[in-house]
Amino acid sequence: MRLLVTGGAGFIGANFVHSTVRERPAVSVTVLDALTYAGSRESLRPVENDIRLVEGDVTDEPLVDRLVAESDAVVHFAAETHVDNALADPAVFVRSNVVGTFAILEAVRRHGVRVHHISTDEVYGDLPLDPAVRFTAATPLNPSSPYSATKAAADLLVRAWVRSYGVAATMSNCSNNYGPYQHIEKFIPRQITNILSGRRPKLYGAGANVRDWIHVEDHNSAVWRILENGVSGSTYLIGADGERDNLSVLRLILALMGHDADDFDHVVDRSGHDLRYAIDPSALCAELQWAPKHTDLTAGLSSTIEWYRENDWWWGPLKEQVEAHYAERGQ
Ligand code: NAD
Ligand code: DAU
């Protein structure tokens, strides 16, 4: 199989490429990535001799057309992904996430190539703190932020291209990922690298907001299951029953790194901050016999902390600038 992976130099995409090379040697992988601030050649260094990396933009229609024509399937991870950045500067989110997905859809339509579109649970908006309510594939789209609005727009384009043009497409909406190679602007790696670099962790507001954590390897094993067995036109919700409020996650990180439970700062809250996300993954588990493997958050965080401890060459050069950026926003 010739597989085109957009956004393969980012966090989830790089982990996907690593596991694909490791576990599926018959798959020939081409990565298309614009190497934005969030993408890194270094994240693909361990597999650089096993894949082809094309530096380019998903909105570049001739380039996308050529690469799709050479492929049997596309996994579309490429996107602008950070909510705080979208609040500050939404234009690039519209371009990469909406126009970029449009370019992919038009190319797969022209060449009859199958696509799997990667999306997020944030398209469903947020939930009350009532554990009985979770997102399912029937939950209406109701995005809150400029980021999630662009992802919802992309999801709608995919649905329309399936219905109107018969494009062979599957979609998945996943909860919050964590693991190695995650950009240090994001919550978990930001706090780990704050501690490792002698800074205090930063919690938005009171930390009552709930996220549903899944290890990136579990997200990617579900994507492969959908690629192999998913039904075109279907949307699969990926989650691992990992709900925790932010304060609890931060305190777990502090404990695992030998710090006091109150050794952090409360900072300015995010505008429009979604309260709670929670995925009901039962449809995916039942239909495609998928199950997550990394369901022990303490163990998953411990290995993630170890990865950041051992790989400061990867994140160290970014740290000063990322924190300076946050400081400008009082975060
Ligand atoms: P990331 O920000 O770490 O990586 C995004 C990658 O896309 C980077 O390599 C970047 O260079 C590339 N990219 C951005 N714009 C591009 C463009 N115009 N053309 C080509 N490449 C471009 O993101 P991530 O966390 O790995 O997320 C990957 C996908 O998964 C996204 O679609 C995101 O919406 C989705 N998702 C993420 C999470 C999460 O918790 N991180 C959860 C659910 C879904
Ligand atoms: O739910 C899936 C989504 O998860 C993905 O679609 C997004 O691409 C991904 O970035 C992530 O979005 P969140 O906004 O949930 O993740 P983030 O890591 O930015 O923040 C997680 C929570 O932690 C959120 O409630 C805000 C809070 N937070 C974040 C940072 C960076 C803090 O309290 N302090 C921080 O320093």
Q: Is 11 in the pocket of ligand 1 (CB under 6 A)?
A: yes
Relative to the alpha carbon of 277, which ligand is closest?
Answer: 2
Question: What's the CATH code, domain 2-178+214-238?
Answer: 3.40.50.720
Token representation of residue 174: 């996943």
- Mean pLDDT calculated for residue range 153-181: 98
Longest dimension (CA), the chain: 58
- Give residue 274's pLDDT: 98
Using the 8-state DSSP alphabet, how is residue 276 labeled? B
Atom number in ligand 2 closest to CA 204: 33
What pLDDT, in 10s, does the model give residues 57-104?
Answer: 999 999 999 999 999 999 999 999 999 999 999 999 999 999 999 999
How many Å apart are CA 92 and CA 294, to the nearest integer? 34
- Mean pLDDT calculated for residue range 155-161: 98
Token representation of residue 241: 């029953």
Q: Is 18 in the pocket of ligand 2 (CB under 6 A)?
A: no
What pLDDT, in 10s, does the model give residues 284-322?
Answer: 999 999 999 999 999 999 999 999 999 999 999 999 999
Domain positions in the chain = 2-178+214-238, 187-210+243-273+295-322
What pLDDT, in 10s, does the model give residues 168-221?
Answer: 999 999 999 999 999 999 999 999 999 999 999 999 999 999 999 999 999 999
Which residues are known catalytic residues? 121-122, 147
Task: Name the CATH superfamily housing domain 187-210+243-273+295-322.
Answer: UDP-galactose 4-epimerase, domain 1 (3.90.25.10)
What pLDDT, in 10s, does the model give residues 9-68?
Answer: 999 999 999 999 999 999 999 999 999 999 999 999 999 999 999 999 999 999 999 999
Question: Does 187-210+243-273+295-322 match 2-178+214-238 at the fold level?
Answer: no
- Give residue 208's pLDDT: 97
- Give residue 200's pLDDT: 98
- Give residue 19's pLDDT: 98
The answer to whether 251 touches 261, Cβ cutoff 8 Å, is: yes
Local structure of 174: helix, strand or coil: strand
Atom number in ligand 1 closest to CA 12: 26
Q: Is 12 in the pocket of ligand 1 (CB under 6 A)?
A: yes
